[in-house]
Structure 1
Amino acid sequence: MLAKQWLSNARDVMTRIEETQMDNIRKAAEVMAASIGCGRWVHTFGCGHATIPIEEMYPRIGGFVGFHPMVELPLTFFTRITGEMGVHQFVFLERVEGYGVEIMKGYTFDSRDTMWLFSHSGINNVNIDVAIEARKKGMKVIAFGSAAEAEGKQTRHSSGKTIFELADIVVDTCAPIGDASVAIKNHQDKLGPVSTMAFITCVWMTVITVAEILVEKGVKLHIHPSHNVPGDTTARERLEDALAEYKRRIAGV
């Protein structure tokens, strides 16, 4: 069954992450914990389907305050397919050099912050713009993507660099560079991408490690709770606590 083939491919990616990326995940988590622990942010950015890990980590049940999502609406890819904000426009925009520079102007950063970037191939201009601007502002840059598979691919940016070459720490998602993993009869293109699953796996391994480091240092986590558990009478109170902490940090207090 092709369904089981995809499942096997997905499991293989997760296994390779466990076997090869634990040290890098720990290094990334230590940098992020330092930012969050001093009251600053881990900013998160990606384009297209690489916005899914950003939306997954916060706000999200089981996530905690300290991760700041930077999601540029024309680059999310999901609101339209054709017509307004369609695929053609998205593919064009993520390759426009300088767009990421303009995106960065909309936020306030600090050298104690961390920039966490998601890109499967690491070669498109918007992500590279963001990485370069983050480094200029003194931030550590962490990149998650298919780094080994992307090695040797030509960047589209005038800097001559991919985000993996610009990052201080890289976590390889171990997904194939073509992403789709299941061959289908009578068709050139494969089905069943695995990069999103790989991103999400790496995200939660990293976020939980950040939490572990912070708790060991005595830092209180402001966790986004489930408010769907019968009998949990303080869930709303804990949610308000998390959102209040988020607003406090956004205000720079």
Structure 2
Amino acid sequence: MSFKYIDVIKELINKIENSQLDVMEKVAQLCAETIIRGNILYFFGTGHSHMISEEPFYRAGGFVPVYPILETSLMLHDGAYKSTLMERVNGLSKILLEQSGATKDDIIFIISNSGRNNVTVEMAIEAKEKGLKVIAITSLIHSKSVKSRHPSGKKLYEIADYVIDNCGVVGDAAVQYENFEQKTGPTSTIAGVLIVNSVISRAVEIILDKGWKPPIFMSSNTDEGDEFNKKILQKYKSRIKLL
């Protein structure tokens, strides 16, 4: 019996830990400062990356002031191939960011394994023009191996203020077999979720060290969860439409 994927993920975690903690610490500090100011952490991703954007939202153990920018046409359930085409449309991100209500005092995580498509690059450009700090979670080795599809010729990592490498391989899938050309076992989702939750957990620790009480959700499936969350939600409902 062989579960090669588990070994691949163990190695991936080690790579992230050995190479990305410095930038993750800087991002965690930025998140802590943003939360203490009463501002919002925005998240955006398309295709499978939208799952990473949803991960920290309305989550047991997660920050309350989290706003995932979710667009149905960029998700798989509204048509998988359609979402691939929609990622390459110019002008959509400007609308999505404007509708979100993001301000210059907020920050945005943009998640894209390749970092090459129009919507992703445009979101980074528009966010920076608004004054938001942009954090990219991407595969540098993949992104550097392809051309940008955006008119600017730039890719996500070339625009972001902070770049966290998910340490994945070109093409995302990382498990290879003899006598079979295609790889399996994509790593970007596990890597992205690991990075996001690690940064958030560290940001909570930073906030506590500063003597503040961070706004964190409790599981609604505990007996006291509903009442606890109801009270904490009131402060942010006016800004986070999805709540």
TM bucket, shorter chain: over 0.9
Name the Cα RMSD after superposition: 1.7
Q: How does 1:107-118 map to 2 (within 5 A)?
A: 107-118=100-111
2:142–2:170 CA contact under 8 A, matched in 1: yes
Q: Partner of 1:15 in structure 2?
A: 14
2:124–2:156 CA contact under 8 A, matched in 1: yes
Letter in 1 for 2:232: A
1:114–1:139 CA contact under 8 A, matched in 2: yes
Q: Which runs of 5+ in 2 are unaligned?
A: none
Normalising by the residue count of structure 1, what TM-score does the alignment of the two structures yield?
A: 0.89
1:104 aligns with 2:91: no
Q: How does 1:35-54 map to 2 (within 5 A)?
A: 35-54=34-53
2:141–2:169 CA contact under 8 A, matched in 1: no
1:39–1:249 CA contact under 8 A, matched in 2: no
Cα distance between partner residues in 2 of 1:142 and 1:236: 32
Cα distance between partner residues in 2 of 1:124 and 1:21: 24
Q: Secondary structure at the match of 1:245?
A: coil
Q: Partner of 1:193 in structure 2?
A: 186
Q: Partner of 1:236 in structure 2?
A: 226
Q: Secondary structure at the match of 2:136?
A: strand
1:203 aligns with 2:215: no
Cα distance between partner residues in 1 of 2:145 and 2:168: 16
Cα distance between partner residues in 2 of 1:55 and 1:109: 17
Identity over aligned pairs, percent: 35
Normalising by the residue count of structure 2, what TM-score does the alignment of the two structures yield?
A: 0.93
Cα distance between partner residues in 1 of 2:40 and 2:144: 30
1:64–1:242 CA contact under 8 A, matched in 2: no
Letter in 1 for 2:19: T
2:45–2:120 CA contact under 8 A, matched in 1: yes
Change (3 A) 1:74 1:133: same
| Among 140, 143, 147, the residue aligned to 2:136 | 143
Q: Which runs of 5+ in 1 are unaligned?
A: 80-84
- Residue correspondences, number: 241
Q: Partner of 2:152 in structure 1?
A: 159
Cα distance between partner residues in 2 of 1:186 and 1:152: 25
Q: Partner of 2:30 in structure 1?
A: 31
| Among 131, 141, 161, the residue aligned to 2:124 | 131
Q: Secondary structure at the match of 2:100?
A: coil
